[in-house]
Amino acid sequence: MVLDAGTLLRILLWGLVSGSVYMLLATGITLIFGVMKVVNFAHGELMMTGAFVTFILSHAFGLNPYVGVFVSMAAVGVLGIVIERVGFRRLRGTAKINEIFFSIALILILQNALARIFVPRFREYVQIKTPYATEVLDLGLITLRYDFVILLVLAWATLLGLWVVLYRTGLGRDVRGTSQNRTAAMLMGIRVERVDMLTFGIGAALGALAGSLYGIINPFGPYAGTLPAIKAFAVIILGGLGSVRGAVVGGLLYGIVESVATFFLGGSWRDAIAFVLLIVVLLTRPQGLFREGA
């Protein structure tokens, strides 16, 4: 297969873009896991809820999607807080399997709530249209969509913002402390319930952003969140559960690997690649590639 520079760049660019989405998704999940030690399988549904909110704001109210994402992040963040308070908090201290069951319940509720609004009107898939959908930057070898640029800027700016919150604010310090040692954090006076709640909200908001960005560059529907979320899980296992750095690096790397693999192996392997990778890693290094902890 002839691989010219332009194609290679295109593959890498797509890898970077989709990797940024995975990175946001993975960071949200890993933050939640790091602090609460909870695995929320319904994260993909939070992602789609975010995508859907941005879509509605754009479609029905004409709001620029790149503004709408912030509304979406806030809305889904609040939803995340509610889910944590009403659900996962109650399950703390019970058998871990209950979290899985609760996640399944969330999947059922969210997926079908979105579907009942979505499917009658829009059938299977929609895509968020942005004002820049047709604008491109001609860079000779490749043409760069404006949307890709904005997406990358947004994703990385958010990550930077998250870094600031984690390392330069009191909340961030509490989050990191709780993540490293919950008991010690409690003893030091950190209100861990509050940290749990806010972390889940932040994680959900990151998921909503991931979803919105995903929805700009991909067609999506109520059921489209499951696969990206599972891939994100594979990423954080590879990168180390609870490690934000692992999620960022892993997400990006995975995006690129997936893009390359899809090109060489064909579209149907795209989704299975994550699992093959996951299985290989779990067999060789069950503890992930990075150490646990922020």
Partner 1 sequence: MGALRRLRRELIVAALMLGLPLLLLTLVRELFVLQVLTFVFIFAIYAQSWNLAAHSGQFSLGHATFLGLGSYASIIAASRLGLAPAVALFVGPILPALAGFAIGALCRRLREAYFGMVTFGCTAIVQVLVVEQFGWLTNRWDGLDAPRLAPEGLPVERVAVLNYVISLALMVATYLVVAAIIRSRIGLAFVAIHDNETVAAAAGVSVVRYRLLAMGVAGYIAGLAGALNGHTLTRHISPGVFGLEDSIWPVLYSIAGGLGTPEGPILGTLLVRVFWEWALRRIGGFDSLILIGLMLALVVTALPRGIYPVFARATAALGARLTPNSVKQP
Q: Which residues bind partner 1 (CB under 8 A)?
A: 39, 41, 86-87, 90-91, 93-102, 104-109, 111-113, 115-116, 119, 223, 226-227, 230, 233-234, 237, 266, 268-269, 271-272, 274-276, 278-279, 282-283, 286
Question: Of the two residues 94 and 169, which places its CB atom closer to partner 1 in the complex?
Answer: 94
**Helices 146-168 and 65-83: angle between axes, nearest 10 degrees:** 40
* Cβ 120 to partner 1 shortest distance, Å: 9
Nearer to partner 1, 151 or 197 (CB): 197
Closest approach of Cβ 245 to partner 1, in Å? 21
Identify which of residues 118 and 214 has a Cβ nearer to partner 1 in the complex: 118
- The three-state secondary structure class of 220 is strand
**Residues ≥6 apart with Cβ < 8 Å to 116:** none
Nearest to 166 by CA among 244, 75, 253: 244
Which candidate, 36, 52, 48, 51, places its Cα nearest to that of 85? 36
Cβ contacts of residue 174 below 8 Å, gap of 6+?
185, 190, 191, 194, 195
Could you tell me the smallest distance in angstroms from the CB atom of residue 50 to partner 1? 19
Of the pair 139, 227, the CB lying nearest partner 1 is at: 227
DSSP H helical ranges for the chain: 5-36, 43-61, 65-83, 89-91, 97-122, 146-168, 170-180, 182-187, 192-217, 226-239, 244-265, 269-284
The closest alpha carbon to 242, from 73, 37, 96, belongs to 37
Minimum Å distance from CB 246 to partner 1?
16
Nearer to partner 1, 13 or 39 (CB): 39
Minimum CB distance to partner 1, residue 136 (Å): 33
Q: In terms of CB distance, is 41 or 290 closer to partner 1?
A: 41
Output the smallest distance, CB 141 to partner 1, in A: 32
